[in-house]
Amino acid sequence: MEFYRRNWINTTSVLSASSANSLTTYLFDRDRALQWQSDGEDDDANTATIEVTFDETTTVDRLAILNHNFKAFRMTYNGGTDFDPTISSTNNSETSSLYKPTSVNATSVQLHIDSTIVADEEKALGQLIVSKLELDLEASDRDPDAASYKPVKKRKEVLLEMSDGGFAQYVIDDKRQYQIKYSFLNTATVESLEAIYDAKKEFLFVPFGTISSWDAVIPEVIWTGDWMFDEFSDNNQGAGYTGKMDLKETAD
């Protein structure tokens, strides 16, 4: 489980594309039904480009592209410098991808799209995420056991009972919620969690941050309720701390 800063991309003013600039708002809209799509670049001989230009130098070590059709592409920063390890593919078949390069101080990030999974289609991308790791639970301490992890996709809907006794359903949206309990966390991990809680800001939650065959679950969430990680897990204080968190996905 990983916690990232909220997406650095949150306005079209930092985005530019080689075509279809009017659609760049879709690159940070979390609605999976909406995509940026190139215009007149439906030829694998043409490279489409999306660039993010920051207002100030920004730390970057997490990147994700969701709901895309790219076969050959690469990502660079500061006008063309490769990340380490290099973010590049010539024969991709996944429609969502997560990358964890070494941290860099970036003034810009570029996405170069050479070809599509189905040849000679317009290049399409649902969401581009550029962010920074706040906490990797598995690396710093431990993930919760299965019984302590309660994910829910909560549906906002209107149900109408019809005249014949049947029902009509109008789905407004589905949002993710997580109730998570941790035990035996060390002091450093608890302090990192408390920094996230005290920030009182939205952040990205990645339950399963594997790079290969990524499940593309990366909701923007808020941490609701009370701080509950001051309880000792055992009579021995050195055994660590126990607590719970309640995460709720934000509105689009």
Q: For the domain 8-132, what is the CATH code?
A: 2.60.120.260
What is the spatial distance between Cα 155 and Cα 153, in angstroms, rounded to a whole number?
Answer: 6
Number of C-alpha atoms within 13 angstroms, CB side, residue 161?
A: 1
Per-residue pLDDT of the chain (252 residues; tens, 9 = 90+): 999 999 999 999 999 999 999 999 999 998 888 999 999 999 999 999 999 999 999 999 999 999 999 999 999 999 999 999 999 999 999 999 999 999 999 999 999 999 999 999 999 999 999 999 999 998 888 888 899 999 999 999 999 999 999 999 999 899 999 999 999 999 999 999 999 999 999 999 999 988 778 999 999 999 999 999 999 999 988 899 999 999 999 998
Reference 54, options 2, 132, 114; nearest CA is 132
Domain ranges of the chain: 8-132, 137-249
Reference 52, options 99, 5, 15; nearest CA is 15
pLDDT of residue 105: 98
